[in-house]
């Protein structure tokens, strides 16, 4: 008996899920606003360099599929005991299978990396990105995740979310790649 390869079943499942999402009747809001907060953890290409922090996504979703997304993340990393501050703007594409919604994100990012020890000298300047010892880095982030709606109230959806991300920087002023995962909650409001 001949068995079909595993990737055939994965692809077939994806196609059926996509067809189900398209064929299932549901009300699409023209524009939704969302806010998602999460804890994050990860590592970099530097040896023994774990990081832990938090992040916030704010965005506008159009027709339940495409979103314009902003990202803010702050984390503590082990090597050089440094603070990582990240800002980004990008897009998010989702497959709206309620209550489960898989998505993918692409984001242009700007990250500040600085030793925590130097922050005491000029805390405000470091938070604003103009203090001494800050490494300014530009890069891209790709992320894959899913959210599940666990409550609804009028035009609001309340969601739990999990996401994996990879950040890549073209320079060598710090780790070239960061990777990690987030776990959080969000709210989406139909406008």
Give the CATH number of domain 29-190; options: 3.30.70.3340, 3.10.20.30, 2.40.160.20, 2.30.110.10: 2.40.160.20
Average pLDDT estimate for 145-173: 95
HEC profile for 100-166? EEEEEEEEEEEEEEEEHHHHCCCHHHHHCCCCCCCEEEEEEEEEEEEEEEEEEECCEEEEEEEEEEE
Domain ranges of the chain: 29-190
pTM (2 d.p.): 0.80
Q: How confident is the model at residue 1 (pLDDT cuts 50, 70, 90)?
A: low
Residue 20 is predicted with a pLDDT of: 59
pLDDT in tens, 17-36: 655 554 454 555 578 999 99
Which of 8-22, 81-95, 129-143, 163-177 has the lowest average pLDDT? 8-22
pLDDT tens by residue, 49-99: 999 999 999 999 998 899 999 999 999 999 989 999 999 999 999 998 878
pLDDT of 3 higher than 60: yes
CB 112 within 8 Å of CB 136: yes
Q: Is the pLDDT of residue 7 over 80?
A: no
- Average pLDDT over all residues of the chain: 88
């Amino acid at each position: 008996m001949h068995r079909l390869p595993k990737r055939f079943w994965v692809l077939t499942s994806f196609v059926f899920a996509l067809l189900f999402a398209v064929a299932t009747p549901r009300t699409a809001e023209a524009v939704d606003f969302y806010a998602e907060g999460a804890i994050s953890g990860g590592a970099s290409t530097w040896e023994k360099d774990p990081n832990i922090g938090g992040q916030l996504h704010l965005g506008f979703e159009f027709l339940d599929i495409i979103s314009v997304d902003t990202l803010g993340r702050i984390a503590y990393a082990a090597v050089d005991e440094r603070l990582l501050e990240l800002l980004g703007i990008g897009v998010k594409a989702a497959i709206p299978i309620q209550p489960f919604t898989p998505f993918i994100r692409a984001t242009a990012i700007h990250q500040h990396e600085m030793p925590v020890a130097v922050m005491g000298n000029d805390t405000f300047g470091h938070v604003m990105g103009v203090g001494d010892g800050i490494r300014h880095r530009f890069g891209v982030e790709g992320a894959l995740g899913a959210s599940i709606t666990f409550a609804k109230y009028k035009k609001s959806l309340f969601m739990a979310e999990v996401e994996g991300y990879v950040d890549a920087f073209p320079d060598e002023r710090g780790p070239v790649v960061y990777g990690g995962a987030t776990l959080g909650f969000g709210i989406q409001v139909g406008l």
